[in-house]
Amino acid sequence: MNPSIATHNRTRHLRPGTAFAWILLLVTSQTAAFAQGAAPAAKIDSGDTAWVLGSAALVLLMTPGLALFYGGMVRSKNVLGTVMQSFIAMAVIGIQWVLWGYSLAFGPDHWGLIGDLSWFGLNHVGMKPNADYAATIPALAFMMFQCMFAVITPALITGAFAERMKFGTYLVFMLLWATFVYDPIAHWVWGAGGWLHQMGALDFAGGTVVHMSSGYSALVAALLIGRRKGYPQQEMRPHNLVWTLLGTGLLWFGWFGFNAGSALAANGEAALAFTTTNTATAAGALGWMFVEWIRTRRPTALGAASGAVAGLVGITPACGFVGVLPSIIIGAGAGIICFFAVGLKPRLGYDDSLDTFGVHGIGGTWGALATGLFAAYSITGLTTPNGGHANGLFYGNPGQMIPQFAGVGATIVYAVVVSFILLKILDATMGLRVTGREEDSGLDVSQHGEEAYSRQ
């Protein structure tokens, strides 16, 4: 999503109270009217609505895709537990979002930091458009599109503590994290009145809001929960890389809704975001694969899949602001940078089990900064949230790097601090980690009393 782009198409109503004011308005605006045409009244467009609803469904599919992507990388005794962590996010956040999450993220602004609870339970959110975010689709369509972003983001974090976190604690953590981390950051970047929004930070579809917030929170979780038993001495091979490749394909497919749907209309912006998304993803897969091939003499399936996801992450904030050729640089850069970031794990000694920080945290950071480098108004015609031309450093506007760095820095600090506090409270009250015996038997049996594969 990017309500920041909605400012480019936002309808403005001028309602002078007298006939004289009307005449004066017509005279003084005649030149502009001939050049631009009169601003149309807000009206629901069936094509835009269908596109956004379809995109919302694509984004929802990404969460089961993530479940397969992660599920294939864990050991067989933890498959159901890992998949369940993603699956249950659709239920928990599906309720949290309609009750208070959407209101906090997109409701009436307070101090540029947070919405309020005036839209609790979707009060005042109905079938008419909200021109602050999208003037041609029902407010409910926009709300549901955003809901799918809120669903997948905490699920991403689970890759950092795979195979060792209590399920009950995870449920509470997910609910608290969505409320106290995701919702405020979403408001900063995309909410009408959010301070980063007002500053002009560019984030088309969630580099800071989704990937950096989850990636840096994942690092905190991995450090506090600790390493898996036997890591790194014991080999912990993925149990089914076919699952992982299938999950990557579903993520790639669903990501078109994630990025192109963020245009909030079936238009040229959506077409550009669709094209740059696919191009960057391909470049990311190739970038990771070839670097791995050079360094280890073998191109792995896991590497190609990880590179594709890194390319998706890297292009997310930039997809509607950059041209196609820069998207190759952004995607390949994400694949290569994330490859080396993941390679630091053994040296630094932390156990980010499924590389959430290395791919989403680092890839999201690169993408957010690359947006400030390659954004091109001459290609996209898009404006910044505060009304300027969306140009980056390489297109004559070095000042765009200021809000980009501000968004990166604020997201890192806030996500790290609040996640640390939440996890410490939960550790003291509920406990974060399963027992050693439960970890040995696996999350499937110890947490759910089931097994993914029958032994009969």
pLDDT confidence of residue 387: 81
Cα–Cα distance measured from residue 375 to residue 320, given in angstroms and rounded to the nearest whole number:
9
Say which range, 242-256, 289-303, 304-318, 372-386, has the weakest mean pLDDT: 372-386
Residues 141 and 52: beta-carbon distance below 8 Å: yes
pTM of the model: 0.89
Cα–Cα distance measured from residue 367 to residue 385, given in angstroms and rounded to the nearest whole number:
18
Three-state SS at 64: helix
pLDDT confidence of residue 59: 98
Cα–Cα distance measured from residue 192 to residue 330, given in angstroms and rounded to the nearest whole number:
28
Which residues lie below 8 Å from residue 409, measured CB to CB, with a gap of 6+? none
End-to-end CA distance of the chain: 47
Residue 72 has pLDDT above 80, yes or no: yes
Cα–Cα distance measured from residue 209 to residue 192, given in angstroms and rounded to the nearest whole number:
15
Q: Which residue has the tokens 């594709």?
A: 308
Q: Which two tokens stand for residue 265?
A: 């209309």
Tell me what the mean pLDDT of segment 50-61 comes to.
98
Residue 10 has pLDDT above 70, yes or no: no
Q: Where are the alpha helices (DSSP H) in 122-212?
A: 139-157, 167-177, 183-190, 195-199
pLDDT: is 380 or 251 the higher one? 251
pLDDT confidence of residue 370: 98
Residue 26 has pLDDT above 70, yes or no: no
pLDDT digits (tens, 9 = 90+) for 280-321: 999 999 999 999 999 999 999 999 999 999 999 999 999 999
Q: Give which of 335, 300, 343 is closest to 315, Cα–Cα.
A: 335
The radius of gyration of the chain from alpha carbons, rounded to an integer in Å, stands at: 22
Tell me what the mean pLDDT of segment 438-449 comes to.
96
Tell me what the mean pLDDT of segment 206-211 comes to.
98
Tell me what the mean pLDDT of segment 375-383 comes to.
92
Q: Which residue has the tokens 């604690």?
A: 169
Residue 17 has pLDDT above 50, yes or no: no
Q: Give which of 408, 399, 409 is closest to 367, Cα–Cα.
A: 408
Q: Phi, psi at residue 336, to the nearest 5°?
A: -75, -45
pLDDT digits (tens, 9 = 90+) for 344-362: 998 999 999 999 999 999 9
One-letter amino acid at 333 equals: G
Residue 37 has pLDDT above 60, yes or no: no
Strand partners, 165: 433
Q: Which two tokens stand for residue 135?
A: 């003037």
Q: Which of the four pLDDT bands, split at 50, 70 and 90, describes residue 372?
A: very high
Cα–Cα distance measured from residue 310 to residue 445, given in angstroms and rounded to the nearest whole number:
32
Q: Phi, psi at residue 134, to the nearest 5°?
A: -160, 115
% of the chain exceeding 70 in pLDDT:
90
Q: Which of the four pLDDT bands, split at 50, 70 and 90, describes residue 384?
A: confident
Q: Where are the alpha helices (DSSP H) in 37-138?
A: 46-71, 79-96, 102-106
Q: Phi, psi at residue 104, to the nearest 5°?
A: -70, -35
Q: Which of the four pLDDT bands, split at 50, 70 and 90, describes residue 193?
A: very high
Say which range, 7-11, 152-156, 286-290, 428-432, has the weakest mean pLDDT: 7-11
> For the chain, which domains are there?
46-446 (1.10.3430.10)
Cα–Cα distance measured from residue 379 to residue 214, given in angstroms and rounded to the nearest whole number:
31
pLDDT: is 142 or 235 the higher one? 142
Polymer length of the chain: 456
Q: Where are the alpha helices (DSSP H) in 226-299?
A: 241-260, 268-296
Residue 345's H or E segment, with its range, is helix 345-348
For helices 46-71 and 139-157, the axis angle rounded to 10 degrees is 10
The Cβ-side half-sphere exposure at 440, using a 13 Å CA radius, reads: 3
Which residues lie below 8 Å from residue 219, measured CB to CB, with a gap of 6+? 160, 350, 352, 356, 357, 361, 416
Q: What is the 3-state secondary structure (H, E, C) of 144-165?
A: HHHHHHHHHHHHHHCCCCCCCE
pLDDT confidence of residue 235: 87
Distances (CA, A) of 236 to 184, 229, 231, 380, 392: 37, 10, 8, 46, 43
pLDDT confidence of residue 52: 98
Residue 6 has pLDDT above 60, yes or no: no
Residue 163: burial class (beta carbons within 10 Å; 0-12, 13-18, 19+) = buried
Which residues lie below 8 Å from residue 425, measured CB to CB, with a gap of 6+? none
